[in-house]
Amino acid sequence: MSQPLRLGIAGLGTVGTGVVKIVQQHAALLSARCGRPITISAVSARTRHKERGVDLSTYGWEDDPVALAKRDDVDVVVELMGGEDGPAKASTEAALHACKDVVTANKAMLAVHGQELAELAEANGCVLRYEAAVAGGIPVVKALTEGLAGNKVTRIMGVMNGTCNYILTRMEKAGLSYDEVFKEASDLGYLEADPTLDVGGIDAGHKLALLSAVAFGTKVNFDGVHLEGIDRITIEDINRASDMGFRVKLLGVAQMTGRGLVQRMTPCLVPKGSPLGRLERATNMVVIEGDSCGQIVLRGAGAGEGPTASAVMSDVIDIARGLRMPVFGQPATSLADAPAATSAAPAPFYLRLSLLDKPGALAKIATTLGDVGVSIDRMRQYGHAEGSAPVLIVTHKTTRDALDQALSRFDATGVLAEQPVAIRIEEV
Amino acid sequence: MSQPLRLGIAGLGTVGTGVVKIVQQHAALLSARCGRPITISAVSARTRHKERGVDLSTYGWEDDPVALAKRDDVDVVVELMGGEDGPAKASTEAALHACKDVVTANKAMLAVHGQELAELAEANGCVLRYEAAVAGGIPVVKALTEGLAGNKVTRIMGVMNGTCNYILTRMEKAGLSYDEVFKEASDLGYLEADPTLDVGGIDAGHKLALLSAVAFGTKVNFDGVHLEGIDRITIEDINRASDMGFRVKLLGVAQMTGRGLVQRMTPCLVPKGSPLGRLERATNMVVIEGDSCGQIVLRGAGAGEGPTASAVMSDVIDIARGLRMPVFGQPATSLADAPAATSAAPAPFYLRLSLLDKPGALAKIATTLGDVGVSIDRMRQYGHAEGSAPVLIVTHKTTRDALDQALSRFDATGVLAEQPVAIRIEEV
């Protein structure tokens, strides 16, 4: 075990340079903890000559990450390029075919090709690790795969896209519209090149799909994640929800039910006073509920050079220490298919309606809800100057189906001034 | 790896029966996750015939845990008896001498004999694991030893005694005195047989000493933990601190400084709005700060059958999976001595004074503080009916030495109606 573990790093963006820094600055500490040195043999990136704030001069260089993966002096390929296909997948496959271990931060690649790559890795006796793919610096993959492995997981919840949480909390604090804060976030460089990955919930959905696979022993099923972005959340909903004691979060929920696997990444309301409700700015939080452990909450930075590099290094260190595990906590060939649940579990909902100023308007709404079996927990009508009145309703637990029925019948009442807004309230 | 991993469980209290339940109820899940079954060969406890709510009839029985540890059909000894010496230590040593792995929840034994036991384990090629010894169901030992192993840890903080946190939050909520809530907690069975272990901070101090060893690569040094219990915290301090925006917590802090290793388990004030400040009832929280990961917060149940058994099982599962590590994250023989810091880092302090109703009283106090170089951040004097006025002071950062100088000079001013109270404010 005193042979060095030799890394090949593919991708030298923020996270890649962060990893180089840790390997360089903490050589003694890593060697003490692993019982062997961790070294870098070679690196690869799109642009060779670029100021990155780290000295790469002693490392080999490869223009092609696939060539990097095949080098004889590389034991572990650290894939930090991103993208679900292309060079990331090609170099990962090349490494696994050459029986080399792979550490990646690539949630998209694993969410889409995780099963295939895990089978390839395990057939070749390799490990494929991805702590950095989920919730940045929070060691949540390890917590779930190992630390809580004695539990039947009953639910996972997570705020796992820092940009969305930044946008939502900034809207509330500053009283700004979605578009205004979106522009701010964009100017600050917080958004992915394709912002839909963030605000459309796709990036967070990838992460949820990975956690689900581990939690429930099922094949990664990203297509089964019900996705809804935050782009339709208005400052009015944020403020009204706050009045009713809630905060809006882009919340991931995964649960195995009798109806199949529920995986949702959608805007939800959570109680203001709950750990999730209190989560501010770009911080991430993952809540894991197990039959023995109860509720475990993990909180930390979900992105950034240091936190993500820290997660990458935890995988590298495990490999250096000889800690080897199946990709999703049990052999990939033993993972079950995970049919998506056909309907979500009942929940209370928040409804925001704008009622025309007509006698009996509220009664019609209440009657319609009653007709489809949706009962009202709390209702609040606001004073108004114009021709329509804002009305907020918090329902008792109901199915989304019943609620959709009510929403479709509202049209026929002729008392709505605008399209109603309905947001699920997650019981945390 | 398809041979079963055979446990011998010594101690069948709450945690022991919890472990038996998980092994029995989750046999298929554990086998899938570990690639081999986990079975129980034999058990040991003080009383054999006692209703425990689990069927033990198929397991061997040993009156003597040392005999249990030596059984040929036991691969791993699960030590859940407690106590820093006696049968716990004897059976742990017997197991390690017989080259068997040990999983324990025994913080006292490890805090006192950790170095010696770790050396014994490692000399015999065994692992000795203790996830359940720290913060119940929260997988914090794993997070620190593995998940954040790429970091130089800069600080660890933790509320790790649920009973103390229950007492402090209950005092505030119900407006009850320490003695009243202590009695309640005692009646509810929340206290250890020797309550000093809880309220004196000893139990939490044991946990902190274990985390320090892993975090800083030092020999466990429980004697170096500066301990102060919660028994002198009054409802008045809780209320006054709350007025100033703080909550009182029994807070553990470990930090490596130029002056040595700081390990404190003392009542501290933390901002009400911080994750630590918001921690209610018996919940535990550990905050780990690293140079790359930033601040990671872990929260969950710190005690109880399910959570503690969950932690025990995570160690058992690691062993079943073949994941083997040095006890404190690096070889025990390589751990450094950890001289205790001779003085604590400067911090702001909360001072509660009761001033006699004399002209110039407050001026004398302020002058005394100024004379020793302690400057005042905020001050509040309360209205009063009797002969003395409550005064609260929040100082700027100062050393405990300077503060102690001030406190000793206060006597000479002749304006104090009572002994002053000083509590450190931890910057979280």
What are the φ/ψ torsions at residue A216 (nearest 5 degrees)? -110, 5
Question: Do residues B53 and B20 touch, judged by C-beta distance below 8 A?
Answer: no
The confidence band for A228, taking pLDDT boundaries of 50, 70 and 90, is: very high
B contacts of A35 (beta carbons < 8 Å): 326, 330-331
Return residues 44-73 of A near B (CB < 8 Å). Answer: none
Q: Does B314 touch chain A (CB under 8 A)?
A: yes
Return residues 269-298 of B near A (CB < 8 Å). Answer: 275, 278, 290-298
Q: What pLDDT digit, counting tens, does each position of B35-86 carry?
A: 999 999 999 999 999 999 999 999 999 999 999 999 999 999 999 999 999 9
pLDDT above 70: residue A101: yes
Residues linked to residue B129 through DSSP beta bridges, in sequence order: B103
Q: Where are the beta strands (DSSP E) in A11-59?
A: 38-44
- Greater model confidence, A384 or B251: B251
A contacts of B313 (beta carbons < 8 Å): 149-150, 292
Q: Do B292 and A309 touch (CB under 8 A)?
A: yes
Q: Do A294 and B278 touch (CB under 8 A)?
A: no
Q: So which residues of A are the catalytic ones? A: 207
Question: pLDDT value at position B231?
Answer: 92
Contacts 24+ apart (CB under 8 A), A266-269: A266/A201, A266/A226, A266/A227, A266/A228, A266/A424, A267/A228, A267/A229, A267/A230, A267/A232, A267/A233, A267/A423, A268/A423, A268/A424, A268/A425, A268/A426, A269/A241, A269/A350, A269/A423, A269/A424, A269/A425, A269/A426
Question: pLDDT value at position A123?
Answer: 98
Q: Would you call A242 exposed, middle or buried from its count of C-beta atoms within 10 A (0-12, 13-18, 19+)? A: middle
B217 to chain A, minimum CA–CA distance in Å? 9
Question: pLDDT value at position A416?
Answer: 92
A178 to chain B, minimum CA–CA distance in Å? 26
Q: Write down the architecture of domain B5-133 according to CATH.
A: 3-Layer(aba) Sandwich (3.40)
Question: Do residues A141 and A220 touch, judged by C-beta distance below 8 A?
Answer: no
pLDDT above 60: residue B181: yes
Q: Do A317 and B150 touch (CB under 8 A)?
A: yes
* Gap between the Cα atoms of B423 and B394, Å rounded: 10
* Gap between the Cα atoms of A239 and B312, Å rounded: 45
Percent of chain A predicted with pLDDT > 90: 87
The confidence band for A305, taking pLDDT boundaries of 50, 70 and 90, is: very high
* Active-site choice (B100, B107, B142, B207): B207
Q: What is the mean pLDDT of residues B400-418?
A: 91
Q: What pLDDT digit, counting tens, does each position of B325-370 carry?
A: 999 999 999 999 988 887 778 999 999 999 998 888 899 999 999 9
What are the φ/ψ torsions at residue B195 (nearest 5 degrees)? -60, -20
Closest chain A residue to B314 measured between Cα atoms? Answer: A147
User: The tokens of A372 are what?
Assistant: 């489809």
Helix (H, G, I), strand (E, B) or coil at B397: coil
* Gap between the Cα atoms of B181 and A80, Å rounded: 54
DSSP letter assigned to residue A249: E
Q: Do B150 and A316 touch (CB under 8 A)?
A: yes
B contacts of A306 (beta carbons < 8 Å): 291-294
Q: What is the mean pLDDT of residues B303-310?
A: 96
Domain parsing of chain A, residue ranges: 5-133, 140-301, 349-424
* Gap between the Cα atoms of A27 and A29, Å rounded: 6
Domains A5-133 and A349-424 share a fold: no
Q: Where are the beta strands (DSSP E) in B213-326?
A: 226-227, 246-257, 260-271, 283-290, 294-301
**CA dihedral sign, ordered B408, B414, B420, B422:** negative
Question: pLDDT value at position B192?
Answer: 81
Q: What pLDDT digit, counting tens, does each position of A167-224 carry?
A: 999 999 999 999 999 999 999 888 888 899 999 999 999 999 999 999 999 999 999 9
Q: Does A20 touch chain B (CB under 8 A)?
A: no
Q: Does B148 touch chain A (CB under 8 A)?
A: yes
Fold topology of B140-301: Dihydrodipicolinate Reductase; domain 2 (3.30.360)
Q: Does B330 touch chain A (CB under 8 A)?
A: yes
Among partner residues B26, B312, B325, which is closest to A321 by beta-carbon distance?
Answer: B325
Q: What is the mean pLDDT of residues A275-281?
A: 93
CB contact burial B221-240 (16+ within 10 A = b; e otherwise): bbebbebbbbbebebebbeb
Q: Does B164 touch chain A (CB under 8 A)?
A: no
Q: What pLDDT digit, counting tens, does each position of B182-202 carry?
A: 999 999 888 888 899 999 999
pLDDT above 60: residue A16: yes
Q: Does A384 touch chain B (CB under 8 A)?
A: no
Q: What pLDDT digit, counting tens, does each position of B8-29 carry?
A: 999 999 999 999 999 999 999 9
A contacts of B330 (beta carbons < 8 Å): 32-33, 35
* Gap between the Cα atoms of B237 and B412, Å rounded: 24
Q: Which of A87, A97, A104, A150 is nearest to A126 (CA)?
A: A97
User: The tokens of B352 are what?
Assistant: 């509660």
A311 to chain B, minimum CA–CA distance in Å? 7
The confidence band for B384, taking pLDDT boundaries of 50, 70 and 90, is: confident
Q: Would you call A386 exposed, middle or buried from its count of C-beta atoms within 10 A (0-12, 13-18, 19+)? A: exposed
Q: Residues for chain B: how many in total? A: 428
Task: State the average pLDDT for chain A.
Answer: 95
B294 to chain A, minimum CA–CA distance in Å? 7
* Gap between the Cα atoms of A28 and B149, Å rounded: 12
pLDDT above 70: residue B1: no
Question: Do residues A252 and A204 touch, judged by C-beta distance below 8 A?
Answer: yes
pLDDT above 80: residue A343: no
Question: Do residues A392 and A244 touch, judged by C-beta distance below 8 A?
Answer: yes
* Gap between the Cα atoms of B295 and A281, Å rounded: 14
Percent of chain B predicted with pLDDT > 90: 86
DSSP letter assigned to residue A143: I
Question: pLDDT value at position A387?
Answer: 80
Is the domain spanning A349-424 CATH 2.40.340.10? The answer is: no
Q: What is the mean pLDDT of residues B123-145?
A: 98
Question: pLDDT value at position A381?
Answer: 87
Question: pLDDT value at position B388?
Answer: 86
A138 to chain B, minimum CA–CA distance in Å? 7
* Gap between the Cα atoms of A69 and B295, Å rounded: 33
Percent of chain B predicted with pLDDT > 70: 100
Q: What is the mean pLDDT of residues B133-141?
A: 97
Question: pLDDT value at position A138?
Answer: 98
Helix (H, G, I), strand (E, B) or coil at B403: helix
Q: Strand order of the sheet with strand A38-44? A: A60-62, A38-44, A5-10, A76-79, A101-104, A128-129
* Gap between the Cα atoms of A30 and B329, Å rounded: 11
Question: pLDDT value at position A382?
Answer: 85
Interface test with A, best of B292, B319, B321, B323 (most A CBs within 10 A): B292
* Gap between the Cα atoms of A298 and B138, Å rounded: 9
User: The tokens of B142 are what?
Assistant: 């794993």
Closest chain B residue to A297 measured between Cα atoms? Answer: B299
Largest CA distance in chain A: 82
Q: What is the mean pLDDT of residues A406-412?
A: 91
Task: State the average pLDDT for chain B.
Answer: 95
Among partner residues B35, B137, B152, which is closest to A293 by beta-carbon distance?
Answer: B137
pLDDT above 70: residue A1: no
* Gap between the Cα atoms of B7 and B20, Å rounded: 10
Question: Do residues A322 and A28 touch, judged by C-beta distance below 8 A?
Answer: no
Element (H, E) at B230: none
CB contact burial A77-106 (16+ within 10 A = b; e otherwise): bbbbbbebeebbbebbbbbbeeebbbbbbb
Return residues 25-44 of B near A (CB < 8 Å). Answer: 26, 29-30, 32-33, 35
What are the φ/ψ torsions at residue B42 (nearest 5 degrees)? -155, 160
Among partner residues A139, A322, A324, which is closest to B147 by beta-carbon distance?
Answer: A139
Question: pLDDT value at position B119?
Answer: 98
